[in-house]
């Protein structure tokens, strides 16, 4: 009974949050692509620096070890990007143009028509999977303590995952014109929540020691994607009005995650 409750809660939280984010970003907010890039950047940065990292540093793990994990994660995702860009350039025989893709792609692409892959998809999927796994362990721990607490935890995870899943979907839909593929990939990453829940059910005590490292690794992926991919796309000459709008949407993403995370922690 308890395992069924954990599976149900983790699947609803993990996949339900992805589909809710997709309804918003591909439905009601689909016309505001550039604004959504700003929102996604703010949401990912806030998820990393105001939710995941503070939670990791509240543990008993030494700060030096966590910072080393953060640095290692940033370098790892940089190398993953390099490998992805090299593979794409080699596969399509672009030669020099393929290797210069990361430096030049954002300067000549239309916001609604981007055919070449954008860096960051590997990082965001890896980080999302790690983050969702950690969420699954946390939900399982809450269910083990009390069924009602587990249900509240699952609902809190569902709500606070929506803003950064919006960011994930934006990154992946930028790397491919196929929104269904982006939704499928992020949904698969979200389903890792159930894996974390099952393992958390069996190994809840042992997994607690590793949660801070999972949180830091996930935060490194979100920070890398926001700073290496999304922010550079926003760095272009705009009118004063467009610039104010861009900054406002960036802060809206930060505020959204901060508000939702605060509500989740209060419960």
pLDDT tens per residue, range 195-240: 988 888 887 667 677 778 877 887 887 788 788 877 887 777 778 8
Distance (Å, whole) CA 64 – CA 165 = 29
Q: Which residue has the higher pLDDT, 180 or 112?
A: 180
Distance (Å, whole) CA 10 – CA 36 = 27
Which stretch of DSSP H or E encloses residue 229?
Answer: none
The model scores a pTM over 0.95: no
How does residue 111 score in pLDDT terms, banded at 50, 70 and 90? very low
Helix, coil or strand: residue 140: helix
Token pair listed for 193: 């929540």
Instruction: Give the chain's mean pLDDT.
Output: 76
Q: For residue 75, what pLDDT is reported? A: 92
Distance (Å, whole) CA 97 – CA 116 = 11
> Distance of CA 83 to CAs 76, 90, 231, Å?
11, 10, 21
Q: For residue 116, what pLDDT is reported? A: 41
Q: Which residue has the higher pLDDT, 245 or 85?
A: 245
pLDDT tens per residue, range 44-102: 888 788 877 887 888 888 999 999 999 998 998 788 777 665 644 554 444 444 444 44
Q: Which residue has the tokens 């593929």?
A: 181
Q: For residue 86, what pLDDT is reported? A: 64
Mean pLDDT of 12-22: 88
Q: Which residue has the higher pLDDT, 175 or 185?
A: 185
């Amino acid at each position: 009974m308890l395992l069924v409750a954990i599976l149900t809660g983790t699947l609803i939280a993990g996949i339900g949050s992805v589909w809710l984010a997709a309804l918003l970003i591909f439905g009601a907010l689909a016309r505001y692509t550039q604004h959504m890039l700003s929102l996604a950047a703010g949401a990912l940065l806030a998820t990393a620096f105001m939710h995941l990292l503070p939670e990791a540093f509240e543990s008993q793990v030494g700060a030096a070890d966590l910072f080393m994990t953060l640095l290692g994660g940033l370098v790892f995702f940089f190398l993953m990007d390099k490998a992805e860009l090299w593979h794409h350039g080699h596969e399509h025989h672009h030669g020099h143009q393929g290797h210069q893709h990361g430096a030049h792609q954002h300067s000549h692409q239309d916001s609604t028509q981007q055919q070449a892959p954008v860096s960051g998809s590997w990082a965001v999927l890896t980080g999302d999977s790690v983050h969702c796994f950690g969420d699954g362990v946390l939900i399982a721990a809450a269910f083990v303590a009390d069924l009602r607490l587990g249900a509240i935890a699952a609902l809190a995870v569902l709500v606070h995952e929506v803003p950064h899943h919006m960011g994930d979907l934006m990154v992946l839909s930028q790397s491919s014109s196929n929104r269904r593929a982006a939704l499928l990939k992020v949904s698969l990453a979200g389903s890792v929540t159930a894996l974390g829940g099952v393992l958390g059910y069996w190994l809840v005590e042992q997994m607690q020691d590793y949660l801070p490292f999972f949180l830091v690794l996930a935060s490194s992926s979100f920070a890398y994607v926001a700073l290496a991919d999304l922010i550079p796309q926003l760095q272009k000459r705009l009118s004063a009005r467009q610039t104010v709008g861009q900054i406002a949407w960036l802060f809206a993403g930060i505020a959204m995650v901060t508000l939702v995370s605060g509500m989740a922690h209060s419960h």
